[in-house]
Amino acid sequence: MNESILITGANIGLGKETARQLALKQETKKIILFCRNPAKAEEAKKDLEEKTGKKIFEIVIGDVSDANSVRKAVEKIKGPIDAVVLNAGGMVGKTAAQITPSGMNNLAATNILGHVVLVDELLKQDKLKKVVLFISAEAVPGVKPLGMKPVSMKTSSVDEFAAVLDGSFFGKKFDVTQAYGYVKYVGTMWTLSMARKYPKLKFIVVSPGNTKGTQAPNNLPPPMRFMLKYVMMPIVFPLMGEMVHTLEVGAKRFCDGISDERYKSGVFYASKEDKLSGDMVDQSTFFTDLKNTTFQDNANEAIHHFIN
């Protein structure tokens, strides 16, 4: 029973829809919309109140690509939080390769840095009670029919994970569509490492699957955005079977991840092998690097090289 839930990136897309679905559960008493833009956050809060008839939404402003912004935000969080949904992120857009003051590129900082700081600070202040959900993607195990190769690292050492985070792993040509899977992999391995470090809490990873109706396609390079919006989503994916679903279905995966006891701590759940929709399964059954506890801890250590 999660009474209080914090969701990052909750003003739009999957984060906002997750807030809507959770608000309709009887046990939910408080939902914190953790957003970077106050005007967008207020608009989302108003819309969620209208749609759910509930006045249980609070706003906390913070930028997950900036560790200090997140630290300041945590000071404003009153009382314990049962569940945290680390949702903000995606492919970020044109600034993905830019190096942030932390030393991580913006893609990694947005998807990982602030989320790790948020969890570390909540734990330090004893404000986190039950569940942490990290949002990953099928880009990690890859999707063969779409030519998406699985993440493949040479040594999975601390240095190699750090190279993904500062971008040097990708050499001179930074392709955000490739880097995205590697960044989500580092965040996934951090979560699995934390699951072993904090056995009394549930640390779980879920991919929403290929979800329509979010802002995500707008962050893709223009030719790819066009292909996805006008060819793949409406024509190709529906023909392939179990390749695309609605916003409601994508967000329900997050709600199930934090509330349903079938989904266990220390596991990355996403679509069946080479699928992007349908039932969620344990990804380590076919992407076995996820089981390697040394790799998991190396990812955790590498991330903390960028956090003072």
Ligand X SMILES: NC(=O)c1ccc[n+]([C@@H]2O[C@H](COP(=O)([O-])OP(=O)(O)OC[C@H]3O[C@@H](n4cnc5c(N)ncnc54)[C@H](OP(=O)(O)O)[C@@H]3O)[C@@H](O)[C@H]2O)c1
User: What are the residues binding ligand X (CB under 6 A)?
Assistant: 8-9, 11-15, 35-37, 40, 63-65, 87-90, 110, 135, 137, 207-208, 210-211, 214-216
The CB-of-186 to ligand X minimum distance in angstroms stands at 13
Nearest by Cα to 262 from 209, 186, 188, 206: 206
CB closer to ligand X, 159 vs 226: 226
CB closer to ligand X, 158 vs 216: 216
The CB-of-23 to ligand X minimum distance in angstroms stands at 17
The CB-of-270 to ligand X minimum distance in angstroms stands at 8
Query: How far apart, in whole angstroms, are the C-alpha atoms of residue 218 and residue 225?
Result: 7
Region of 57 (left: φ > 0; alpha: ψ -120 to 50; beta: rest) is: beta
Query: How far apart, in whole angstroms, are the C-alpha atoms of residue 178 and residue 136?
Result: 14
The CB-of-42 to ligand X minimum distance in angstroms stands at 12
How far the first Cα of the chain sits from its last, in Å, is 34
CB closer to ligand X, 9 vs 142: 9
CB closer to ligand X, 56 vs 205: 205
Per DSSP bridges, beta strands 128-135 and 81-86 are parallel
CB closer to ligand X, 2 vs 111: 111
The CB-of-248 to ligand X minimum distance in angstroms stands at 13
Bridge partners (DSSP) of residue 58 are 32
The CB-of-125 to ligand X minimum distance in angstroms stands at 20
CB closer to ligand X, 84 vs 158: 84
CB closer to ligand X, 52 vs 87: 87
The CB-of-155 to ligand X minimum distance in angstroms stands at 26
